[in-house]
Chains A and B, each alone.
Chain A
Amino acid sequence: MIARLCRRAAPRGRAEELHRWGRKASQDVGTRGAAVRTRSTWLGWVLVGCLAGLLVGGPVGVGRAQAPGSAGMVRIGLDVDAGTGDPRFALDSSAYRLGELVYDGLVYLNNRQAPEPSLASSWDTPTPTTWVFHLRRGVTFHDGQPFTADDVVYTFETILDPSSKAPYRSLYTPITKVEKVDAYTVRMTTSAPYAPLLSYLNIGIVPKHIGEKNDGSLASHPVGTGPFRFVSWDRGSKITLEANARYWGGAPKVRGLVINIVPDNSARAAAVEAGDLDFIHSPLSPQDVARLRKSSNLIVTKMTGLGITYLNINTSVWPLSDVKVRQALAYLTDRQAIAADIYQGMDQAATSLLTPGLWAYTGSVRQPEYNPAKARALLQEDGFTLQGGVYEKDGKPLAIELWTHSEDPNRVQAVEFLQNAWQKYGFRVKVSTNEWPTFSSAVYASKHQVALLGWLNIVDPDRLMFNQFTSNGGQNWEKYSNPTVDALLQRGRTTLDRAARAKIYQQAAQILANDQPYDVLLYQGYVVVQSAQLHGFVPNPSGNLKTLDAVTLGGR
């Protein structure tokens, strides 16, 4: 039966034509056919050879997860390639991670975001606007040159230089003067007391003798004082670092690190599961994290991070200029459902602008919580009437636009969820997603109505509030203006006593929670997935990997 199925469909019964055309046809046939036949046979053997190679080489690869070939090198997976190796110009998360491993700052922010001595072994504030840093002695850069006050002065002068491209220059502009007192002492003067300063002084100190050559070499060949020294950079693929045996904090116990760039979140999760990587961290897909928890040779650690996901509400556009409408939206936002169903518990529902990781947090400051009945009451009290399912006032329907960027599928799901929820209770909501550059440039120009995005690296409440809520603040895209809040945020920035600062920010946060220029949806979580062979790693919610300087690789 098989033979019948495979029988070729051969042409028959035209023998007389063959006879007529026979001679011409045989002339048409050339002599290169032999070459073709050999070629296709050769191709077939190549294919067979490749398959055989795979089959032989495959099982040989079994056990490569424990292969000692990469002995002593911790293999990390990150999602993007670092844009630069120069910490002054770092913008993406990988550039930060690289900077934290190769360089040291004056201080180090530990896993509670408290500043600890690093290149500055101690500091004091003789006046509220003067900071004196006593530098650690005996520290050398990876090229052997000594670290001195000149390097500190050079680093901050270049950051503060208006013509430099330092992305976070605005965090340092309150510094008016950085001067060298002697080889191991630096004095910084600020225009007014600047409480958050220490939190921003963890930026890597670059070597003056290399930086002042102005050839941009630090961007592709970083040289710092940190626990790991730079070896090589395969652009888009991997960065190799080796342990700095002369590190002032003690030489790392591992031989080095290999930072692999694996852009896809699920592929990175598969890699750590298969043993091709030893360490990955957020961003990760919630479903992958749930699956990885079940693996016996992986350790999954979850904690609250330093970021928020929030709705930026443009208060200059009707109907959002009406505070009751903004509050009604907040009453209709089920943050718990978003956290549980869309983010699968990886992020937690937010209560206010105060993030749980920081000292200013208190659970008693709260935004309007999910309560559709209150929303309805508020809108009706404000003069809105329901017409055909949509609220109206003075003939204008309650219509808003909800935007987000397309790269994050969870955020896209969240806006669809919110559109559904808000439309159910009388709003008309139009959703629009765009890629990040288009989306962000429109939001920065305040062309949006409601936009879903986030803030990261909230190491101090000032970082999340000052530029965002002061009346002409550089990141006040929602055009919010409230003199009481302005005064509070100024005081919060210039008060050096932490307990007093906490009270100020709590007051400001409560006013902002009532006024709703931001509807904070989630406190972002930070997840670490590491091989069980990696011992001694202490996760830092900022994502800082510096504690890799004290890890060991068991069983290798």
Chain B
Amino acid sequence: MLRYVLRRLAQMVVVLFGISLLVFGLLHLVPGDPAALLLGQQATAQDIARLRHVMGLDRPVWYQFVQYVARAARGDLGTSIFLGGQRVTVLIGAHLPATAELAFAAMALAVAVGVPVGVLCAVRQYSLIDVVSMAVTQIGVSMPVFWLGMLFILLFSLQLRWLPTFGRGMPLPAAFLAMLEGNGAPLVDSLRHLAMPAMTLALSAVVLITRMVRSAMLEVLGQDYVRTARSKGLTARAVTYRHALRNAVLPVITIVGLQVGALLGGAVVTETIFAWPGLGQLLINAISQRDFPVVQGATLVIALVFSVINLAVDVAYAWLDPRIHYG
């Protein structure tokens, strides 16, 4: 197992290098000059040329890439072109927790809803509950995220006045600590800010989880040992949860892992509507400003987290299913 993990880590380095190269190449190929964008419409051609020289953009592309990789290996991801010389590592460090909080909350919600509903649908296959659940989740995933988000704001903020329209409360870990110290208000505030963005994001993940659990459960419920368990006289609950679900949950873990990775970089629309200060927003703004260091750094970090999560999922597989061995 250890050899497997080490081999995967080595592969990860290669993948990250490849991604860096790809992003670097794309950024330099597409039109759009960061120096010109930084100086704005009033700048003259000489000002732009001068700034390009200062920023090192007039060097050959391969040289710039080698310089970038050398610095990145030392942990220096550069400074942002547009955000007042902020260090990229600091910027990402400021935005990543927000996105992580949102991604995990959305996945927790999706799993908390998707698994029980999937089990219910499998156990009561083709019943009214099954059909309705499948229909509702399908509709949910088909609605554009932007529209769904605005609908939630309309309902929960403007009509019912239950939830705030935008923003993020105190980071959850700090809010938990405050609660342990006796002040529960920050935690309630954080959860209220988290509710709508998490619901919006969760809706796209929940359909996948529900269907996955449902089909995996149906397959497992058709297995011989389940019939044996029933024939031994075990209660339905014991059969469903202790014997069937446990074996059906493996594919769900893969889905959850992949989705968390996707959400880390892809929650841009949700983050924009709810003004959630996350990595997706940082990345999209950086792309539209051609803020090269931030785009490189953010994609690198997202790829890294994604790879680590995938590795964790694979290791979890081996832990959960004794039949799986890595060599």
Binds A, one of B6-14, B149-157, B255-263: B149-157
Query: Smallest distance from the beta carbon of B38 to chain A beta carbons, Å?
Result: 7
In the complex, which residue of chain A has the Cβ closest to the Cβ of B271?
Answer: A263
Contact in complex: B37, A440 (CB < 8 Å): yes
A54-B191, A220-B86 as given contacts; A165 in contact with B51, CB under 8 Å: yes
Number of residues of chain B lying within 8 A (CB) of chain A: 91
Q: With an 8 A cutoff between CB atoms, is A170 at the interface?
A: yes
A43-B115, A436-B288 as given contacts; A22 in contact with B232, CB under 8 Å: yes
* Interchain CB contact (< 8 A) of B36 among A59, A237, A444: A444
Contact in complex: B242, A54 (CB < 8 Å): no
Mark contacts of A122-134 with chain B using CB atoms, 8 A cut-off: 1 yes-contact digit, 0 otherwise: 0000000000000
Binding site for A on B (CB under 8 A): 30-33, 36-45, 47, 50-51, 54, 82-86, 91, 94-95, 108-109, 111-113, 115-116, 119, 123-129, 149-150, 153-154, 156-158, 160-168, 188, 191-192, 195, 221-222, 224-229, 231-232, 237-238, 241-243, 245-246, 249, 272-275, 277-278, 281-282, 285, 288-290
Residues of B within 8 A of A11 (CB): 221-222, 227
* Interchain CB contact (< 8 A) of A441 among B32, B47, B116, B128: B32
Docked Cα-Cα span, A276 to B192, in Å, equals 13
Contact in complex: B154, A270 (CB < 8 Å): yes
Docked Cα-Cα span, A84 to B289, in Å, equals 14
In the complex, which residue of chain B has the Cβ closest to the Cβ of A35?
Answer: B246
Mark contacts of A261-301 with chain B using CB atoms, 8 A cut-off: 1 yes-contact digit, 0 otherwise: 11110111011011010000000000000000000000000
Contact in complex: A237, B227 (CB < 8 Å): no
Contact in complex: B288, A435 (CB < 8 Å): yes
Docked Cα-Cα span, A268 to B166, in Å, equals 8
User: Which one of B119, B149, B288 has the highest number of Cβ atoms from chain A below 10 Å of its Cβ?
Assistant: B288
* Interchain CB contact (< 8 A) of B42 among A47, A171, A436: A171
Docked Cα-Cα span, A262 to B274, in Å, equals 7
* Interchain CB contact (< 8 A) of A264 among B37, B161, B273, B289: B273
Query: Smallest distance from the beta carbon of A386 to chain B beta carbons, Å?
Result: 37
Contact in complex: A91, B38 (CB < 8 Å): yes
Contact in complex: B242, A274 (CB < 8 Å): no
Residues of B within 8 A of A455 (CB): 41
Query: Smallest distance from the beta carbon of A272 to chain B beta carbons, Å?
Result: 9
A18-B231, A263-B272 as given contacts; A54 in contact with B42, CB under 8 Å: no
Residues of A within 8 A of B243 (CB): 29, 33
Residues of A within 8 A of B108 (CB): 46
Query: Smallest distance from the beta carbon of B218 to chain A beta carbons, Å?
Result: 9
Q: With an 8 A cutoff between CB atoms, is A484 at the interface?
A: no
Contact in complex: A83, B84 (CB < 8 Å): yes
Docked Cα-Cα span, A260 to B275, in Å, equals 9
Residues of B within 8 A of A8 (CB): 123-125, 127
Query: Smallest distance from the beta carbon of A36 to chain B beta carbons, Å?
Result: 4
